[in-house]
């Protein structure tokens, strides 16, 4: 087919207005508006942990939860930015900052546990429930993210879907810790942050299947 | 095929009109965009695929994501991001193909042998092929016409017929099988 003919066909199929993609910040607000009520419902159904009020007085817990929340927000915003052609690439690496703070805070917690003698010291045991817990809490944010990323341009499927997975998993971990009373540094690092990392990698791996160039039949 | 050169502000205005459903503005915009993409492809492209195929790939991609253009942002970076991305995809595809290719110094020229030529000529110009084609289901016949007779690429054939690329591949495969059976009987 000649390029001239292709242009004619493309133009003929563009007679209807298209719904413009909202700016990444507006999409972020929409994603949070869908995700946070779901997390609130799950936390309510599962039952808020009994020591939650005391947790709010623990700076370590506050920093870890704050970093998880900021990671979720930054990763979601970066994922939406990655789906818009022409936006600067540095936007995609911004979530590294809260991720480093998050891992650093949890790692510092491990160190504190390590040097603390007695029953409050380092503790490690199997807690496989964290992974399905994060998957469940992150289900609605994850699905909403997948649908929204599908509408963007498939410029960087690996990065955008990986960031989307990180956003949903980090938000899920934030919610999980409101009803799951497990705060030992090493446990959080391995079972919770580890699950988030695993889900991020899995999301990135399916990126090319979720968002890709698809040329529809022309009219 | 070149459109009149227009500046970036006008391109952005045409893109806004396109998003509002103006086909004439869209046609004008694509005609202006095509030579820009062709020049970019010519600068960066070293593969065997035709530059026009790359241009068409970019235009199809632009069409798919035309809703992602934000009128508050410049047009050219938006266009170039799509073009660079598609060009990189084509280059990766070429690299994958090249891995499967085997270089030979002398190509076997079976078509120069008279016996081979007779068979091909006999089939190509006989009514037998025409009759065998008539026996094919409509979808398979269309696939053969577009991919073999008109020598379109899968993407072009898909755009022309409305069939998906995988449906075209399946139809082509089945058509070849059926044609082989019919022609062997004759």
B67 and A20 within 8 Å at the Cβ level: the answer is yes
Write out the two tokens for B175. 């058509």
Q: Average per-residue pLDDT in chain A?
A: 90
DSSP summary character for residue B66: G
**CA–CA gap between residue A142 and residue B174 (Å, rounded):** 41
Cα distances from A1 to residues A216, B56, B83, in angstroms, run: 16, 9, 20
Residue A93 reports pLDDT greater than 60:
yes
- Three-state DSSP class for residue B47: coil
Residue to substitute from B23, B89, B164, interface A, most A β-carbons within 10 A: B23
Put simply, whether B114 touches A (Cβ < 8 Å) is: no
Would the pLDDT of A122 be above 80?
no
In this prediction, residues A77-94 reach a mean pLDDT of: 96
pLDDT tens for B75-115 read: 999 999 999 999 888 888 777 777 766 666 555 556 555 55
Contacts of B160 in chain A (CB under 8 A): 1, 218
- Report which of residues B183 and A195 the model is more confident about: A195
Closest-CA distance, B50 to chain A, in angstroms, reads 12
**Which pLDDT belongs to residue B104?**
62
Q: Give the model's confidence band at A219: pLDDT under 50 very low, under 70 low, under 90 confident, else very high.
A: very low
Contact criterion met (CB < 8 Å) for A14 and B65: no
CA closest to B33 among chain A residues: A7
Q: In chain A, what percentage of residues exceed pLDDT 70? A: 94
Contacts of B152 in chain A (CB under 8 A): 1
Higher-confidence residue of B94 and A202: namely A202
**The pLDDT value given to residue A160:** 96
Does the structure show a pLDDT above 70 at B63?
Answer: yes
Mean pLDDT within B61-77: 94
With a CB cutoff of 8 Å and minimum separation 6, the contacts of B40 are B80, B83, B84, B87
What is the predicted pLDDT for the residue at B100? 67
Residue B180, pLDDT > 90, answer no
Any chain A CB within 8 A of the CB of B135? no
Q: Which residues of chain B are within 8 Å of residue A213 when distances are taken between CB atoms?
A: 61, 64, 86, 89
Kindly state the average pLDDT of the residues B157-170. Answer: 82
Mean pLDDT of the B5-34 span: 92
Please tell me if residue B100 touches chain A, with a CB cutoff of 8 Å.
no
Residue of B nearest to A157 (CA): B85
Buried/exposed code over A43-55 (b: 16+ C-beta within 10 A; e: otherwise):
beebeebeeeeeb
Q: What is the DSSP string of chain A?
A: --HHHHHHHHHHTT-S---PPPPHHHHHHHHHHHHHHHHHHHHHHH---TTHHHHTT-HHHHHHHHHHHHHHHHHHHHHHHHTSTT--GGGGGTTHHHHHHHHHHHHHHHHHHHHS-STTS------TTHHHHHHHHTHHHHHHHHHHHHTS--S-HHHHHHHHHHHHHHHHHHHHHHH-----HHHIIIIIIHHHHHHHHHHHHTHHHHS----PPP-
B183 close to A (CB below 8 A): no
The pLDDT value given to residue A142 = 97
Best mutation target, B4, B56, B73, to test chain A (most A CBs within 10 A): B56
pLDDT(B154) > 90:
no
Q: Find the mean pLDDT for residues B23-29.
A: 94
Q: Does B88 touch chain A (CB under 8 A)?
A: no
Contact A211, A81 (CB under 8 A): no
Question: ipTM score of the complex?
Answer: 0.83
- A3-17, A41-55, A179-193, B45-59: least confident range: B45-59
Mean of the per-residue pLDDT values for chain B?
A: 81
Q: Are B65 and A153 in contact (CB under 8 A)?
A: yes
Please give the C-alpha separations between residue A60 and each of A74, A101, A112, A177, in angstroms, as whole numbers.
21, 12, 10, 13
pLDDT of the residue at B30: 94
Tell me the pLDDT tens digit for each residue of A129-168: 788 999 999 999 999 999 999 999 999 999 999 999 999 9
DSSP label at residue B3: P
C-alpha distance from A219 to closest chain B C-alpha (Å): 8
What is the tens place of the pLDDT at every residue in B104-132?
655 555 655 555 555 555 555 567 788 88
Q: Which of A42-46, B52-56, B58-62 has the lowest mean pLDDT?
A: B52-56
B4 pLDDT more than 90: no
* Class of CATH domain B8-100: mainly alpha
Could you tell me if B4 lies within 8 Å of chain A, comparing CB atoms?
Answer: no
Q: Is B51 on the interface with A (CB under 8 A)?
A: no
Domain residue ranges of chain B, discontinuous segments joined by +: 8-100, 110-185
- How far apart, in whole angstroms, are the C-alpha atoms of residue B175 and residue B146? 12
CA–CA gap between residue A46 and residue A39 (Å, rounded): 10
pLDDT of B168 reads 86
Predicted pLDDT of residue B113: 57
User: How many CB atoms neighbour CB A23 within 10 A?
Assistant: 15
What pLDDT was estimated at residue B24? 93
Tokens linked to A178: 């409101």
Test A85 with B155 for CB contact under 8 angstroms.
no
Q: Distance between CA B46 and CA B61 in Å, rounded? A: 21
Which one is the CATH code of B110-185: 2.40.50.140, 1.20.140.10, 1.10.20.10, 1.10.10.10?
1.10.10.10
Give the mean model confidence (pLDDT) for residues B125-144.
81
Nearest CA-CA distance, residue A99 and chain B, Å: 27
């Amino acid at each position: 087919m000649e390029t001239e003919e292709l242009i004619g066909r493309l133009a003929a199929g563009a007679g209807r207005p298209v719904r413009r993609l909202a700016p990444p910040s507006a999409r972020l607000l929409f994603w949070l508006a869908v995700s946070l009520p779901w997390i609130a419902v799950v936390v309510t159904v599962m039952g808020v942990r009994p020591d939650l009020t005391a947790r709010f007085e623990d700076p370590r817990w506050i920093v870890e939860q704050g970093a998880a929340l900021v990671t979720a927000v930054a990763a979601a915003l970066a994922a939406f930015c990655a789906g818009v052609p022409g936006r600067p690439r540095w936007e995609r690496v911004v979530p590294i900052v809260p991720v480093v703070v998050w891992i650093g805070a949890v790692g510092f917690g491990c160190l504190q546990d390590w040097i603390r003698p007695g029953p409050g010291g380092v503790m490690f045991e199997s807690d496989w429930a964290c992974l399905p817990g994060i998957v469940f809490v992150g289900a609605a944010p994850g699905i909403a993210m997948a649908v929204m990323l599908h509408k963007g341009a498939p410029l960087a499927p690996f990065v955008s879907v990986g960031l989307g997975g990180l956003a949903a998993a980090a938000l899920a971990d934030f919610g999980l810790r409101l009803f799951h009373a497990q705060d030992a540094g090493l446990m959080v690092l391995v079972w919770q942050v580890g699950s988030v990392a695993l889900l991020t990698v899995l999301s990135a791996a399916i990126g090319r299947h979720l968002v890709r160039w698809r040329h529809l039949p022309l009219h | 095929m070149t459109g009149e050169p227009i500046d970036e502000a006008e391109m952005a205005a045409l893109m806004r009109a396109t998003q509002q459903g103006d086909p004439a503005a869209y046609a004008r915009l694509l005609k202006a965009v095509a030579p820009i993409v062709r020049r970019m492809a010519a600068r960066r492209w070293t593969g065997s695929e035709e530059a026009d195929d790359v241009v068409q790939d970019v235009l199809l991609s632009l069409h798919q994501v035309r809703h992602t253009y934000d009128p508050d942002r410049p047009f050219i970076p938006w266009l170039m991001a799509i073009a660079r991305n598609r060009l990189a995809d084509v280059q990766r595809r070429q690299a994958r193909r090249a891995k499967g290719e085997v270089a030979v110094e002398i190509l076997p020229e079976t078509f120069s042998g008279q016996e081979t030529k007779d068979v091909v000529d006999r089939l190509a110009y006989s009514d037998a092929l025409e009759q065998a084609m008539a026996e094919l289901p409509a979808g398979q016949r269309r696939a053969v016409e577009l991919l073999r007779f008109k020598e379109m690429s899968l993407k072009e054939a898909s755009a022309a017929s409305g069939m998906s690329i995988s449906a075209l591949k399946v139809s082509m495969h089945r058509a070849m099988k059926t044609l082989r059976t019919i022609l062997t009987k004759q």
